[in-house]
A and B are shown apart, each in its own frame.
Chain A
Amino acid sequence: METPLTANIKPGRRPPDIKAYRKAGGYRALREAVLKMRPEEVTQTVKDANLKGRGGAGFDAGLKWSFVPMGEEASGPKYVAINADEMEPGTFKDRLLMEGDPHQLIEGAALAAYAIQADVAYIFLRREYHLSARLLRRAIAEAYDSGCLGQGILGSEYSLDMHLHISAGRYMSGEETGMLNAIEGRRANPRAKPPYPQVSGLWGNPTVVNNVETVCNLPHIVNNGADWFRNLSLTAEGGTKIYGASGRVRRPGTWELPMGTPLRELVEEHAGGMQQGYRLRGIIPGGASTEFLTPAHLDVKMDFVSVEAAGSRLGTGTIIVLDDHSCPVGMTLNLEQFFLRESCGWCTPCWGGLQYAVELLTGIEAGAGRMEDLDTLDSLAAMLAPGHTFCALAPGAAEPLGSALRYFREDFERHIRQQRCPWSS
């Protein structure tokens, strides 16, 4: 089984510096691209590879690039912003890639930049990732020193500047358009789409935002071709995926596996099953903003299309496991508190709807709930739907809420009937 993304990542060892990275074949793809490929060819290869964005939404990476104005008529500087904000609760895959192999990210970002002929690339890193920051800062400097970044990259005509932007927090900074505002030194409120960032992004110029894991795939796609990449997967969506598991499993962690690896394999094999004395009650498949799945869903293939068919989303592919010793209402409350705290406050359904949801859940958890509160929560979950809100934060909050009400109804009702949390002693 091939694991291109983590090939250079050895637990407990420092990541490869540029020498080691190059020795392992690093920057070959970038050289190939800037010297021998037209930007459109890179885009086409990535399209053919069927690389779905790994930031959570699964949008086709090549397709996204193809919206960027190219050629003569494209005016002004263009930008790439690498989303290294990783703040979705339960998600810890980009950290692995940045701490394990920073040059892979830089090369991937440079390839994305080349494909759209960007002038500047920003790596948008959350502030709490101090180790990633140190490693990336050094790696960028090395890349400049050895001609992999800067003027005339690797002897080509193509020039690219790359900067590490340390964020100041907030989950909304990871939302594509919120990030643009954050880079511009503004509040990370989202922007209206259309216009899409690919046309009017940073400072009104064409900008592509891609997730860390997404671009880490690029060197391998360019090196090995689209067919190779598609064949890594068990399903139609190309490549491998960094999966992970947290919660009361025996071996929480991350694994690079073929895209489409069944959920059961993740839980039972790689994570080693539930810890002694704990039973599986539910799984959030891809970060806080995805719907609960239940043990009945264990055979779902973990790719974007299949998980969606099962009623949730692959999201970031790092699963959160709910066990039978933990209160589903408490977990839902914790999730909704997170979303409320991180709401940017721009649109009413989000700041108002989530305040309402949190207050009701708090009441239920504290033993002050009423049965009709569940109807209110149901309708809240339904109302915070995509399109109803300005960005995807609130709909993301509605996913665990709605599914928890569906799958753990009895637990909610017990709280209300007993006027207390059955899990609290």
Chain B
Amino acid sequence: MALIYVENKAYKVEDGQNLLAACLSLGFDIPYFCWHPAMHSVGACRQCAVKQFKDKHDARGKIVMSCMTAAVDGVRISIKDPEAHAFRAAVIEWLMLNHPHDCPVCDEGGECHLQDMTVMTGHTRRRYRSNKRTFRNQDLGPFVSHEMNRCIQCYRCVRFYRDYAGGRDLESFSLRNQVYFGRHESGILESEFSGNLVEICPTGVFTDKSLKQHYARKWDLMTAPSVCVHCGLGCNTIPGERYGTLRRIRNRYNGEVNGYFLCDRGRYGYLFVNSPDRLRQPLQRRSRNAAPEPVSVEAALAKVEKIFSGGGGVVGIGSPRAPLEANYALRRLSGPDRFIAGQSDVDLALSRVARQILSEGPARSCSISEAADADAVFVLGEDLSNFAPRLSLALMQSVRRQPLEGLEGIPLWQDAAVRIALQDQRGPLYLAMPAPTRLDAVATVAYQDSPSGIARLGFAVANRLDRNAPGPETLGRDADSLAAEIAAALVGAKRPLVISGAGLGSEAVMQAAANVARALAGRGQAPGLCLTLPEANSLGAALIGGGGLSRAVKAVETGEAATIVILENDLYRRAEPLLVERLLAAPRVIVLDHLLNPAVERADMALPAATFAESDGTLVSSEGRAQRFFKVMPPGEGVRESWRWIEAMALAAGALESPWGTIDNLIRDMAADIPALAPVGEAAPGEGFRLHGQKIARQPRGYSGRTAMNASVNVREPRPPGDPDSPLAFSMEGFQGRPPAPLIQRYWSPGWNSVQALNKFQDEVGGPLKGGDPGKRLINPAASGGSYSVQFPEPFVRPEGEWLIVPLYHIFGSEELSAFSPPVMELAPAAYVALAPDDAAGLGARAGSLVEVALPGGTLRLPVRLIDSLPEGTAGLPVYLPGLEGIVSPGEFARIRVMKQGQQGLT
């Protein structure tokens, strides 16, 4: 603790920070631009000037940059000092010399940090009479717009993009008052974190291109706390809505999860909510051969009532992308015995194993922020940049931990100095993957091998750490020394971390990772363990339980069940078409989902299910963190939350005695029913929560057009819809202040209209949100539980003439819902099969050659892509790209032959 004096009053602050951070944490307003709580100080903008005094007798003092001055014991400053104030006003005046003052037409207007700071410093009159410098803009791809004339040269964009996120195609060019921030030529930004520029830029240079297509001001957006549904990490988001369409996604700070940043899939995947392929009305078919017809909700409910009151068994197929509540409702309807987990057999097995490993311990599942803090990392089989992107951003920070600890004499917040001192020094990060990944650039070693080779490496590392851990005696080639090197790096670390997951579809790989963690724990280290799973609620689904798809087929084919209810699940992505067909042959098929997919098209009754933006629920991230999301907008007229549809079915079927009515009641039942889910209700305050007797307003105070926006339908102002499920109101009436962390629906504080208002929501800038970061961990490992998995696989031997399929993920294209977002799909590659150059040559194929890939589930015709270090005898197939849905099954073997010219390809 240090005692500092601000305006002659003493304050206690944490040691080792700078004055700007300390003062902001104390609640003072100091304007700033180049400083960022996650990226620290470089002293470029000079906006944060304050007056520093030598002692209490010093009346003159000198101007210092608060961000570049250590908050050490005895420091004495004034923010109000007239000279400091005048200097800050001058800085704004300089920043504004070239600024176009185009706020009325600028996307950032109303949530612009530059606007806020201009008002804060009191520079309100333009004196400059000369020309402004102007620039040409670039087309940076589908995510980010570029308007360089608004730039104030704070360097935040390149500091985030290049220094923090490792991107190499955004830079600063030229100099003086003409520094240009962009690419070396127009083109798509390469980093999968490019969307963060939108929030990093303090003014309107980098703005959200998706928002531009249906633009609304921040004050016109209805917002609510939400959780990203596009991978298993559970980043917290704030979606914004107007006129019934979702307009954008913003980051919602969670100090333990995503911090300040999202990946581009998470930011831009949301457009599926507005997709023309949305199912917006119930569809019903009179007979199997008839076309589906739209019907009213009432008619659909009547039909549901008729079907379910008629008795007969129900098979419920749950979903790893639907929240706990919908899955649980379905489980109540079908009964636990006929509840199916709704995952492919491989994924189901893997999420069960993950659940088991994490709950048996002894390694603790690691949050993203803990991962960023790890000082030695071993990744087995996960292409994080594509499979769990936000975690890869965390690892880019983790490689700095060890060198940072060796740094002497430079405060860690001196970002530029620290980077100079560290140069390219990086701490240990070992990657074992079949194919190269984007993280390789920062890895100590990026090792390529087959899945079983990777698992064997993991087992060997565990064995080097603890001789009792089973492991192969020798791995051959360089792998033995690598195993020893990895073991030594992990032993030498204070916070070692092991990462694996479902990406390769290999249980052995996951078990190998668990063994490494166990061996480390056995040595008295406290390893972190991340097991990444593919979908937003994969781990939640594993906690609810449920059988495999073959159990469903049996129930249907033995007549045990006449009705099958499929919850938010395109089964064609989960299993071979033949198996799906057998399921869909059930006498009655009811599908609930958001979008028209092949399963929906085959249903007797398709019920439009609300998306994350129109419903409430809880998702369990791969960390094991239960996180609540809330409706941003009411579901449209024909649409209902899945759990509400199922509630009606369960009531009719007699599986539920009285309606839940609210999600809180459902959660209460679920908690009582499934012990593992007992704490779920604590993830967020219940519906009854009030602040000053009020619900929390989803709409900001400045929300405009309320009396007019529906005038085309009805000139009378409609009553805002009620919300029985949450303490949030669909209205501007209600509490507008700072709600408890899990309910933060937007960042705003008097004078702070931009995302930077977030400082006011944290205990300490960059630290946890006031009252603690949201989410409730459901899985905490038994202290010393678990035993080594003993089965390590044999070395991979390639059967003559066959190719082992390894799945390759693409951040853009491999995930189901974001595949309905046009900008995301603009960046998805076309389907291909990847081969090592030698292997391809052996087949007589070159890059781009068309080949026929014969898999057990069908045959594909794909162009060849060459991947240099792909292990011999493996073929990489991208997951779920258009043309590849549902077919890739890891671990299978394929036969490949080159097609003669003239034969047609699939794509």
Contacts and interface: CB of A to CB of B under 8 A. Distances in A.
A356 B128 contact: yes
Give the one of A343, A347, A349 with max B CB within 10 A: A347
Given A340-B176, A352-B95, A362-B130, A389 B416 contact: no
Nearest to A186: B420
A370 B49 CA distance: 30
A192 B63 contact: no
A295 interface: no
B280 interface: no
Contacts of A363: 129-130
B180 to A, nearest CB: 10
B176 A342 contact: yes
Interface in B269-317: none
B191 interface: no
Identify the 6 closest CB pairs spanning chains A and B, nearest first: A352-B94, A359-B130, A345-B179, A351-B177, A204-B421, A343-B176
Interface in B528-584: none
Give the one of A354, A355, A363 with max B CB within 10 A: A355
Contacts of A170: 175
30 contacts: A172-B175, A191-B417, A192-B68, A192-B417, A194-B409, A194-B410, A194-B417, A195-B414, A195-B417, A340-B177, A342-B176, A343-B176, A344-B176, A345-B174, A346-B44, A347-B44, A347-B46, A348-B47, A348-B94, A351-B153, A353-B90, A355-B94, A355-B176, A356-B93, A379-B86, A379-B90, A383-B87, A385-B63, A388-B46, A390-B46
B130 A348 contact: no
Given A345-B174, A359-B130, A204 B46 contact: no
Given A342-B176, A351-B176, A200 B97 contact: no
Contacts of B63: 385, 387-388
Interface in B31-85: 42-47, 49, 62-64, 68
A396 B179 CA distance: 21
Nearest to B414: A192
A340 B133 CA distance: 13
A362 B417 CA distance: 38
Contacts of A353: 90, 94
Contacts of B421: 195, 200, 204
A167 B152 CA distance: 29
A344 B91 contact: no
B409 A345 contact: no
Given A343-B175, A344-B175, A345-B178, 8 more contacts: A170-B175, A187-B172, A192-B43, A195-B417, A345-B176, A362-B130, A363-B130, A388-B49
Contact of A356 (B97, B153, B178): B97
Nearest to A188: B175
A367 B95 CA distance: 26
Contacts of B97: 352, 355-356
A305 interface: no
A187 B93 CA distance: 26
Interface of B: 42-47, 49, 62-64, 68, 86-87, 90-91, 93-95, 97-98, 127-131, 133, 152-153, 155, 172, 174-179, 409-410, 414, 416-417, 420-423
A381 B46 CA distance: 16
Nearest to A201: B420
A390 B417 contact: no
A54 to B, nearest CB: 27
A348 B176 contact: no
A191 B91 CA distance: 20
Nearest to B411: A194
Contacts of A345: 153, 172, 174-179
Contacts of B422: 204
A191 B43 CA distance: 10
Contact of B423 (A195, A204, A376): A204
Contacts of A348: 44-47, 91, 94-95, 152-153
Contacts of A199: 409
A163 interface: no
Contact of A376 (B42, B127, B130, B417): B127
B812 to A, nearest CB: 32
Give the one of B97, B422, B423 with max A CB within 10 A: B97
A130 interface: no
A191 B422 CA distance: 14
B636 to A, nearest CB: 48
Interface string A224-239: 0000000000000000
A195 B94 contact: no
B33 to A, nearest CB: 8
Give the one of A342, A346, A376, A388 with max B CB within 10 A: A346
A200 B420 contact: yes
A355 B90 contact: no
Contacts of A414: none
B667 to A, nearest CB: 52
A203 B419 CA distance: 10
A341 interface: yes
Contacts of A383: 87, 90
Contacts of A349: 46, 90-91, 94
B45 A347 contact: yes
A341 B176 contact: yes
B62 to A, nearest CB: 6
B248 to A, nearest CB: 30
B876 to A, nearest CB: 37
Nearest to B47: A348
A341 B175 CA distance: 8
A370 B113 CA distance: 33
Interface in A180-235: 187, 191-192, 194-195, 199-200, 203-204
A134 B325 CA distance: 79
B84 to A, nearest CB: 10
Given A191-B417, A195-B410, A199-B409, A390 B44 contact: yes
A192 B414 CA distance: 8
A356 B174 CA distance: 19
A353 B95 CA distance: 9
Contacts of A351: 94, 153, 176-177, 179
Interface string A372-397: 00001001100101011110000000
Contacts of B129: 359, 363
Contacts of B47: 348
A187 B44 CA distance: 15
Interface string A322-364: 0000000000000000001111111111011111100110110
A226 to B, nearest CB: 31
A170 B176 CA distance: 11
Contacts of B410: 194-195, 200
Contacts of A195: 409-410, 414, 417, 421
A347 B43 contact: yes
Nearest to A170: B175
Give the one of A192, A344, A353 with max B CB within 10 A: A192
Give the one of B409, B417, B420 with max A CB within 10 A: B420
Contacts of B46: 347-349, 388-390
Contacts of A187: 172, 175
